[in-house]
Structures are given as structure tokens and as C-alpha cells.
């Protein structure tokens, strides 16, 4: 496999752009192919078998385009699909784990919250992480879930009034319980940081998995001798399975830190 090959990044929508930003920060010389399965968004309420099928289809598309590794930048897809993907594809597959370990290490109140999607809450990965890190430390974990937040971010309303109303509703019990850390258990949720701060100030620290998965990706590529040795700035090509024009303004708004414009092209759903 070529060191110069791009890295694939997959999410059900635009949430994975938060992970892509961390990847580009840590791996500036790598090229990336970003694939958003916007035709089937959101994944959270879908059955596990369907999530595995859709994720497998997306990773197969990236594999066919010549990527050297894939980052599954979707908590729901990671919760249901990593084992199946690693058995199917002969390339590194890196997934997301909710950032509960640093939240547990940092808490002073002994209470932390997790803002999750319905799919992540149903899967076993979050419960495994709670059993591994929170329970032995005696830390209480409170979960909040909403099926509305991902579509609101996808619609470009991360700072909208409806978004803030949903956040007030689902996060108020966590704040009232004394949580001093909030794990953002979906890659869409870092884009809600401004709205969360507007509603709750600094009641809790916000933690997500983007930087950690970027470090893990670097370590995996280094261990497999797949890091790009070129010194030029890497490029990004982005693809969606749904309506390109509908996705374009949201991609532009959430990718303001990229030096080049985001180019979108539809791929088969």
C-alpha cells in the first residue's frame, strides 16, 4: 500500500468534519477523502444490522478509491461496525471511543455527562467504556439523548433557537446533578459547543474524541510504515451520497479553517 495514498474519513453526515480538522492539524501532509452518507442520515435510530450495512458500503467506496486507511468518524457506526469492517478490509480501520476516560480522570464532583445519539446509547461500546473507566473510579455517568440534534447541525442550525431549546431540555438534568464534564458522544456535537456554552456557561468541561482519534491514526500509520513522507500541504476531496447543493453551504460553514474550498461530488447511495 502506498504511503502517498489518501486517508479515508467516513461519517453519516458533516459531523466527521470535526474529526477531519483534528486529523489535518496533526497530519498536515496527508491527503484525505471525506465521505458523508447524507442520503441515509441520521444513523442513530436505524437498526444495528442496517448501520453495519451502510457503513460497510461507505468504507467499500473509499477502499475502491484507493485509500490506505479509514477513520470511521461516527460514534454510532463505530459502536456497531468496527469488528465487521476489520474482518472485511485488509487496511487499518480506526474508530471512535467516547471520551469518557479523560472525563473520569478530570472530574472533581464525581459526576460526568454523556450527550449521545440514540444509536450510540443502544450500542454496547458506551456501556463497555463506562464499565472499564467510570465504575472502578466510582464516577456516576448520566446520559442525555436527542434524535433532533444531528439533523439540526446538518441543516446548518447549530446555533439556532430550536437547537438551544433541545440542549436546555436534555442537558439541564445533567447540570443540576452536578456534572463537571460533558462527553460529546457524536462527531456532530463539537459544532454545538457555542450553543452549549451560551446556555450553560462553563458548568462543565466539554470533551470529544477528535484529538484522540487523530493521535491513534498517526500511531497506526506510523506502525504500519504508511505515513506520507511528502512535505507538501495535503488536500481534501469530499463526497456525499445525497444532494450536493444542499450539503455545500453546510460543508463551507463548518470547514472554514481549510485553505482550499471543499469540492463535493455525489457518489452512489
Give every CB contact of residue 78 below 8 A, 6+ residues apart in sequence. 72, 95, 96, 97, 125
Question: What positions carry a catalytic annotation?
Answer: 74, 186
pLDDT digits (tens, 9 = 90+) for 123-150: 778 899 999 999 999 999 999 999 999 9
Q: Which of 72-81, 102-111, 197-206, 259-268 has the lowest mean pLDDT?
A: 259-268
The domain boundary residue, chosen from 156, 181, 207:
207
pTM for this entry? 0.90
Tell me: do 159 and 80 sit in the same domain: no
Predicted confidence at residue 208, as pLDDT, reads 94
Residue 43 marked ligand-binding: yes
Q: Which of 79-83, 110-114, 173-177 has the lowest mean pLDDT?
A: 79-83
Quickly state the pLDDT bin for 261 (edges 50, 70, 90).
Answer: low
Domain enclosing residue 44, as ranges:
7-96+210-266
As given in the structure block, the three cell numbers for residue 111 are: 459526576
Tell me: do 14 and 77 sit in the same domain: yes
Work out the average pLDDT over 98-117.
Answer: 95
Tell me: do 87 and 105 sit in the same domain: no
How many CB atoms lie under 10 A from the CB of residue 237?
16
Tell me: do 227 and 202 sit in the same domain: no
Residue 18 marked ligand-binding: no
| Comparison of pLDDT for 98 and 177, the residue scoring more | 177
Residue 12 marked ligand-binding: yes
Residue 159 marked ligand-binding: no
Tell me: do 198 and 107 sit in the same domain: yes
As given in the structure block, the three cell numbers for residue 133 are: 473507566
Residue 16 marked ligand-binding: no
Radius of gyration for the alpha carbons in the chain, expressed in angstroms and rounded? 18
As given in the structure block, the three cell numbers for residue 5 are: 495514498
As given in the structure block, the three cell numbers for residue 46 are: 436505524
Tell me: do 17 and 116 sit in the same domain: no
Tell me: do 66 and 113 sit in the same domain: no
Tell me: do 187 and 245 sit in the same domain: no
In a domain, 51, yes or no: yes
Tell me: do 126 and 109 sit in the same domain: yes
Tell me: do 72 and 165 sit in the same domain: no
Tell me: do 36 and 111 sit in the same domain: no
In a domain, 1, yes or no: no
Report the number of distinct structural domains present in the chain.
Answer: 2
- Three-state SS across 20-50? HHHHHHHCCCCCEEEEECHHHCCCCCCCHHH
Burial classification of residue 87, based on how many CB atoms lie within 10 Å of its CB (0-12 exposed, 13-18 middle, 19 or more buried): exposed
| Rounded Cα–Cα distance for residues 185 and 201 (Å) | 19
Which CATH number belongs to the domain containing residue 63 in this structure? Answer: 3.40.50.1860
As given in the structure block, the three cell numbers for residue 262 are: 471543499
Quickly state the pLDDT bin for 256 (edges 50, 70, 90).
Answer: low
The domain boundary residue, chosen from 207, 231, 255:
207
Tell me: do 28 and 76 sit in the same domain: yes
Residue 44 marked ligand-binding: yes
Amino acid at each position: 500500500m502506498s504511503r502517498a495514498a489518501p486517508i479515508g474519513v467516513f461519517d453519516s453526515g458533516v459531523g466527521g468534519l470535526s474529526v477531519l480538522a483534528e486529523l489535518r492539524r496533526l497530519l498536515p501532509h496527508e491527503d484525505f477523502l471525506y465521505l458523508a452518507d447524507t442520503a441515509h442520515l441520521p444513523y442513530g435510530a436505524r437498526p444495528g444490522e442496517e448501520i453495519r450495512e451502510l457503513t460497510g458500503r461507505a468504507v467499500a467506496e473509499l477502499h475502491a478509491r484507493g485509500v490506505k486507511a479509514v477513520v470511521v468518524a461516527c460514534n454510532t457506526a463505530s459502536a456497531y461496525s468496527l469488528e465487521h469492517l476489520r474482518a472485511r478490509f485488509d487496511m487499518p480501520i480506526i474508530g471512535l471511543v467516547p471520551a469518557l476516560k479523560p472525563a473520569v480522570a478530570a472530574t472533581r464532583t464525581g459526576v460526568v455527562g454523556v450527550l449521545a445519539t440514540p444509536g450510540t446509547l443502544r450500542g454496547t461500546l458506551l456501556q463497555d467504556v463506562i464499565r472499564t473507566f467510570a465504575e472502578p473510579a466510582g464516577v456516576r455517568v448520566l446520559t442525555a439523548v436527542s434524535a433532533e440534534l444531528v439533523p439540526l447541525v446538518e441543516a446548518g442550525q447549530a446555533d439556532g433557537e430550536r437547537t438551544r431549546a433541545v440542549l436546555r431540555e436534555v442537558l439541564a438534568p445533567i447540570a443540576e446533578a452536578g456534572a463537571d464534564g460533558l462527553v460529546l458522544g457524536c462527531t456532530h456535537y463539537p459544532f454545538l459547543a457555542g450553543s452549549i456554552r451560551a446556555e450553560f456557561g462553563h458548568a462543565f468541561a466539554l470533551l470529544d474524541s477528535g484529538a484522540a482519534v487523530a493521535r491513534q491514526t498517526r500511531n497506526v500509520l506510523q506502525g504500519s510504515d504508511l505515513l506520507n513522507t511528502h512535505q507538501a500541504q495535503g488536500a481534501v476531496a469530499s463526497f456525499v451520497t445525497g444532494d450536493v447543493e444542499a450539503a455545500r453551504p453546510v460543508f463551507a460553514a463548518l470547514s472554514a479553517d481549510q485553505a482550499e474550498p471543499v469540492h463535493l461530488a455525489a457518489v452512489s447511495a
